[in-house]
Structure 1
Amino acid sequence: MTRLTRRAVLGGLAAGVAGQALGAPLSSPRPVPRAQIVPAEALRVASSQDLIAAAKLGGNVGFVVADAKTGRILESVSADTPMPPASVTKAITSLYALEHLGGDYRFGTRLIATGPIRGGVISGDLVLAGGGDPTLSTDTLGDMAAALRRAGVTGVSGRFLVWGGALPYTHEIDPAQPDHVGYNPAVSGLNLNFNRVHFEWKRVKGGFDVGMDARGERFLPRAYTAKIAVKERALPIYTYSDKGRVEEWTVASRALNKAGSRWLPVRRPELYAADVFQTLARAQGVPLGNPEIVRDLPGGTVIVEHNSDSLRPLLTEMMRYSTNITAEAVGMTASARRGGLASHAGSGRLMTEWLKDRAGARSARFVDHSGLGGDSRISAGEMVGALVRLGPAAGLRGLMKDFTMRDEADRVIRNHPLRVEAKTGTLNFVSALAGWMTSPSGADMVFAIFTGDVARRDRIPNAERERPQGGREWIRRSRRLQQQLIERWGAVHG
């Protein structure tokens, strides 16, 4: 019998052909149960093909489940078919960032004086310099304004400059998304409140009272770089136009209830952050002129510096809440460290090349770091290969959230015997899940499940992309299939 080494198994898995490396077909037959491992009821578990057929998703379904320690494939369907990974991309981005930046990396935001402080006045310019921090908040800027005053600054003789060149600017993560969705903002080296502005409305006599602000938990400054007007119409719900220094929105009156709020994306992040800081500094007794964006970072003395949390807790939060801007900022920062970063799209290509080098993912292609772009592709076999080969050393499993198991009525099943730690991903008519699972007997498995009806997704009219007809029901069936597959693997392979 040919002796297979761990390297051979992992190498074959990463290339998406582990079945061939093990002398088995890519689409594994129903496993032969072993009495000492598989309970009797597992013999009646539905086959994966029957579960897929019953879900009636259309499009494609691909999955791989493998032994977490050896990488040996236990079951697979369409293991090497490239499919949209959606937010499961963030697992790859986490691996990419941890390798290039390290878990202790912190993003810095600085206030720089280009000249000396004389009598409380900076003899030169004051620069608000971003370092790519995706978690920078209004409260942080408020604290930095207070620290500036404590440093003895009461004024600036020169200009108020703002620099966001630590990362290349992109107008939006995915141009195919609706203008108004808050999860698709601009990204730059200076990002505030996930580059979202808060829109609030209240019905009053004769119309609506509306406002836009940059609220934090402790500060509530008005946003002067964005404004909104209510228009008497039914559709479109929102319109957007960029007037240079002011982003202008309109909203349909018939879409508003008595009172409410939502976050809208920001496309001018440097001006937005500078506008908010100007207000907060003025409240501290430090008046500043109108902000000016600069391409090159001026030299000078750092007066105040704020550092973000370290990378590992930032990634944990990103995986938990699936924050797209965190993934993009983290991924582009890793690309800058890798070298050759010129654009947002170019950063996706750099991560693609890295995954091919590190895990043999030959068909993988990433157009971004968050998975929001529907043109990204990776196969289930390549995804599992990356998790097996790169996940343990990076501690990726510890970043993932617990996957909640639910019954057919969508109620949470408490104390479920299977433990699942995974990253979910959802786009219109695309649903993905990848991570680790542990059976009651302690068997550890790694898996990836990709479902997608890309043709149906591509047919959605622009006006319906936020909530397409049939989309929620499709996602519900996909998620049900994902859980059924996991329960099947626990019964048959656990």
Structure 2
Amino acid sequence: MVSRRAFLSGAAASVGGSLAGPAWASAPERSLRPLVRPDGFLARTIPDAADIIARADLGGRVGFAVADATTGEMLEVGHPLYGLPPASVAKAVTTAYALDRLGPGYRFRTRLVSDGVLADGRLDGDLWLIGSGDPLFDTDALAGMARSLADFGVREVTGQLRLATDALPTIYQIDPGQLPHAGYNPSISSMNLNFNRVHFEWTRENGDYTVTMQARSASYSPGVQTSRMVIEDRDYPVYTYEDTEARDEWTVARGALGNGGARWLPTRRPAAYMAEVFQTIARSYGIVLDGPAFSEGAPTDAAVLVEHVSEPLEDILRGMMLWSTNLTAEVVGLLATQAGGVRPATLAESGAEMAAWMEERLGARTPHFVDHSGLGVDSRIRPQDMTRALVSAGPNGLLRNLMKDIPMRDASGNPVADHPLSVVAKTGTLNFVSTLAGYVRLPTGRDLAFAIFCADLDRRAALTEAQMERPPGGRSYNGRAKRLQQALIERWGVIHA
């Protein structure tokens, strides 16, 4: 297991002895040094970066920077100092931030505790459920805790089920600019269950619909009352949402349902959601729990009855980088900020702390984060600073090992087997925003670090709410952006080999 700071050592010592060394100062819009080109016919076939960008015809702006990942030497740039939305590439920064502040071996712990007395199966006192923000905690894990409580000998609880919610601030949603039913935009709290999503399923029989709202996991699917769905006779909007005192109230357009289907919807009351599911499962073991009640913290002298321990943070972050789970990014980012001595109330406050950390530790200039996942389009990173961060992390560091393989593709979009370039990176996609940042290993063994940011923010801003889920031209933009990214990587793989 590497230490929490080892991943940052990488090639930092070789960049002039400082993360803010002269190799990075005042980079021009285009490379000042002549590009090294191979001789002969091949040299004449390599398109210039500007030509590659022009042919993509994306509109908006494209910025990129590529450097030698070992020495930090900047090799080629285009608009490197213009800050653009990183989208989910921000998760690479969040990963480095969390590893530095928490360490790769950090584990989340969810506990059942009590300061009451247990005798003959009767717990005389309250039962506390203490969340730590575990982003992977699901109904299976909660059921395991209920089963362990029964195995511990608890048959009756005279007090209430109480939930301690002080591990993290409760945040209503990641990005208020998203559609209300976007499952990737859930609430955040110390009590996270099933990524704070509810499984909505509908089936049609004899012209009518049956609807279920469940806390579904691999082995359990308990129904919930904290979220309710009503079908209404309309075609648009597909979903409406209202946050009432009792529950999340949803409606769905009958005209959009077809013969059946399912989707995950966000929950805006995660602690109440977890309490309801736990009470339901505990009841199946014969344990009836009154409540719930919510408090900031549990009694300090409470005894631990049951504990669920997560996987190490390193493994959690590997999954986050692969699946780009927003909730995980926000939780680990908030915890990293708290580990630095700041208790943020909002994601923007925590994002500002991560930006300050990026400036201090990675030598970035004026990064701006409104969250830790990249879901908010108002975050900004300069391509040069993102590349610089990757150099600081090192071509063989832990950050690289947590990134996913990016296959190189042919002109038809099919992966090329045994391609001479090996690419690992983090992707990012928002409407009319496409980003990629990571490492390229050349056939010679040389490692490059790069960032490519594409964004047409005017086109994005012009979208109506009805267009946001499937924006006109969005799929074409994303495809052309990805082909541009591949073409730039192919170019670098030849001229810098």
Tell me if TM exceeds 0.5.
yes
Displacement after TM superposition at 1:31 (Å): 4.3
Aligned-partner Cα distance in 2 for 1:414–1:374: 35
Partner letter of residue 276 of structure 2? Answer: D
User: Is 2:238 the counterpart of 1:211?
Assistant: no
Instruction: Give distance in 1, aligned partners of 2:117 and 2:57.
Output: 69
Say whether the 8 Å CA contact 1:138–1:214 is kept in structure 2. Answer: yes
Check 1:472–1:286 CA distance in 2 against 1; reply closer, same or farther (3 A cut): same
Cα deviation digits, residues 10-56 of structure 1 (max 9, x gap): 52478663x3xxxxx44116844355xx6852431110000100111
Q: Is the 8 A contact 1:39 1:491 kept in 2?
A: no
For the 8 Å contact 2:14–2:71, the answer to whether it is kept is no
- Give the aligned partner of residue 481 of structure 1: 484
**Aligned residue in 1 for 2:30:** 27
Consecutive unaligned residues in structure 2, runs of 5 or more: 1-12
| Matching residue within 451, 455, 472 for 2:454 | 451
For residues 15 and 445 of structure 1, do their structure 2 counterparts lie closer, same or farther at Cα, with a shift above 3 Å needed?
closer
2:224 counterpart residue number: 223
Separation (CA, whole Å) in 2 of partners of 1:471 and 1:12: 39
Identity of aligned residues (%): 48
Partner letter of residue 15 of structure 2? R
* Structure 1 residues 368 and 375: alpha-carbon distance in aligned structure 2, compared to 1, 3 A threshold: same
Q: Indicate the residue corresponding to 1:273 in structure 2.
A: 274
Distance 1:125 1:83, change over 3 A: same
Partner residue, 1:409 = 412
Structure 1 residue matching 2:290: 3-state secondary structure: coil
> For the residues of structure 2 that align with 1:402 and 1:209, how far apart are their CA atoms?
42
Q: Which moved more, 1:443-452 or 1:218-227?
A: 218-227
Q: Which residue of 2 aligns with 1:22?
A: none
1:461 corresponds, among 428, 451, 464, to: 464
Deviation at 1:312, TM superposition (A): 0.3
Q: Please report the TM-score for the alignment, with normalisation by the length of structure 1.
A: 0.94
Matches within 5 A, 1:351-390: 351-390=354-393
Instruction: State the AA in 1 paired with 2:16.
Output: R
1:234: how far off?
Answer: 0.7
Say if 2:171 is the partner of 1:173: no
- Residues 1:391 and 1:86: Cα distance change in structure 2 (over 3 Å): farther
CA contact (8 A) 1:200 1:212 kept: yes
Match in the other structure for 2:134: 133
Tell which deviates more after alignment, 197-206 or 133-142. 197-206
Do the aligned residues in 1 keep the contact of 2:145 with 2:306 (CA within 8 Å)? Answer: yes
Change (3 A) 1:33 1:112: same
Structure 2 Cα separation of the partners of residues 431 and 14 of structure 1? 27
Alpha-carbon offset, residue 206 of structure 1:
3.6
Whether 1:350 and 2:353 are equivalent positions in the alignment is yes
Residues 1:6 and 2:15 aligned together: yes
Judge conservation of contact 2:175–2:376 (CA < 8 Å) in 1: yes
Report how far residue 408 of structure 1 moved: 2.7
Q: Given the superposition, is the C-alpha separation of residues 391 and 221 from structure 1 closer, same or farther in structure 2, using an over 3 Å criterion?
A: farther
> One-letter code of the match for 1:378?
I
Q: Select 1:313's aligned residue among 301, 312, 315.
A: 315
Please tell me whether residue 301 in structure 1 is matched to residue 303 in structure 2: yes
Deviation per CA, 1:236-276: give whole Å up to 9, x if none.
00000112231111111111121110000011000001111
Q: 1:394 to 1:268 in 2, by over 3 A?
A: farther
Q: What is the root-mean-square deviation in Å for CA atoms of aligned residues?
A: 1.8
Shift of 1:305: 0.4
Would you say the 8 A contact 1:162–1:291 is kept in 2? yes
| Distance across 2 between alignment mates of 1:209 and 1:28 | 62
Deviations 1:91-135 (A, max 9, x none): 000000001100000011000112111221111101111001000
Shift of 1:6: 3.0
Which stretch of the first structure deviates more once superposed, 295-304 or 385-394? 385-394
Q: 1:340 aligns with which of 328, 339, 342?
A: 342
> Counterpart of 2:496 in structure 1: which amino acid?
H
Secondary structure of the 1:363 match is: coil
- Matched with 2:3 is none
Q: Alpha-carbon deviation of 1:290?
A: 3.0
- Which shifted more, 276-285 or 405-414? 405-414
8 Å CA contact 2:106, 2:313 repeated in 1: yes
For residues 109 and 337 of structure 2, what CA distance do their matches in structure 1 show? 17
Q: Which amino acid aligns with 2:462?
A: R
User: Please, which of 409, 429, 433 is the counterpart of residue 430 of structure 1?
Assistant: 433
Aligned to 2:9: none
Structure 1: 5+ residue stretches without partners: 20-24
Moved over 6 A (4+): none
Code of the residue aligned with 1:306 in structure 2: it is: H
Letter in 2 for 1:473: S
Q: How many residues align?
A: 483
Partner of 1:65: 66
Residue 104 (1) aligns with residue 100 (2): no
SS at match of 1:128: strand
User: Tell me, what secondary structure is at the counterpart of 1:58?
Assistant: coil
Which residue number in structure 2 is paired with residue 240 of structure 1? 241
